[in-house]
């Protein structure tokens, strides 16, 4: 038995699938996904780079150029003015200028001598020029159970608060996130560059 196979003439075009063929839907979905990814990735990369530059400027460059310091609040003793995870911006102030009502950051004179950021409730100036303060957290019922004699001529007063950024700083310090940023950011940037390079140029007909 002899089978006859159709022979395509040289130069003849292939017959396109009929409208509604699933292959059309798959191709259209893939094109849309690539276009959407091409729009999202550049903005995501720019956002990450911008956030990194801003954080670097505020946390690393600013303290050296403008003289302020940043302190991450770990407890709720100063809520709601300074909540846990907020970053307080403090600037130096002469100890002789400290008055009641100021919020200052200093080393507590007991225990581990950790930094504490509380409001001044009393100031005592000694005959030798020493400054002794007693403080209280806004959210605490009682004053701190110590009086601190400030060392040196300079203390730090809270001038501003950046909400919630302390949580981001702590997250960036975790090994998983730091490794993800170390390898993920370059990969994201490389993917963006590849999309820019391989993206076909739009012709006037495509724009129409």
Q: Beta partners for 120?
A: 135
Largest CA distance in the chain: 122
Q: Go through the chain and tell me how many residues it has.
A: 208
- pLDDT (average), residues 102-113: 91
Nearest to 88 by CA among 79, 99, 100: 79
Q: What is the dihedral of CA 61, 66, 72, 73, to 10 degrees?
A: -170
- Is the separation of the CB atoms in 119 and 158 below 8 Å? no
Higher per-residue pLDDT: 206 or 80: 80
Nearest to 182 by CA among 48, 17, 18: 48
Reported pTM: 0.59
- Is the separation of the CB atoms in 166 and 86 below 8 Å? yes
Q: Beta partners for 90?
A: 69, 158
For 160-207, write each residue's pLDDT tens digit: 998 887 777 676 666 665 566 666 666 666 766 676 676 555 544 444
For 18-66, write each residue's pLDDT tens digit: 555 555 455 566 666 667 766 776 777 677 767 767 766 666 677 777 7
């Amino acid at each position: 038995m002899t089978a006859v196979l159709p022979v395509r003439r040289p130069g003849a075009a292939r017959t396109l699938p009929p409208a509604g063929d699933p292959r059309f839907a798959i191709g259209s979905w893939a094109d849309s996904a690539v276009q959407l990814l091409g729009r999202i990735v550049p903005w995501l990369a720019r956002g990450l780079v911008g956030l990194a530059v801003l954080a670097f400027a505020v946390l690393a460059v600013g303290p050296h150029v403008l003289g302020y310091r940043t302190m991450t609040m770990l407890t709720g003793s100063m809520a709601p003015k300074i909540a846990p995870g907020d970053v307080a911006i403090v600037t130096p102030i002469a100890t002789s200028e400290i008055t009641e009502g100021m919020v200052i950051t200093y080393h507590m004179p007991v225990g581990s001598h950790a930094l504490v950021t509380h409001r001044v409730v009393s100031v005592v100036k000694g005959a030798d020029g020493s400054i002794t303060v007693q403080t209280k957290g806004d959210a605490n019922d009682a004053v701190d159970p110590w009086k601190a004699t400030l060392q040196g001529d300079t203390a730090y007063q809270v001038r501003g608060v950046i909400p919630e950024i302390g949580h981001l700083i702590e997250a960036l310090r975790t090994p998983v996130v730091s490794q993800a940023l170390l390898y993920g950011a370059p990969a994201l940037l490389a993917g963006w560059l590849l999309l820019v390079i391989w993206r076909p140029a739009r012709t006037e007909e495509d724009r129409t």
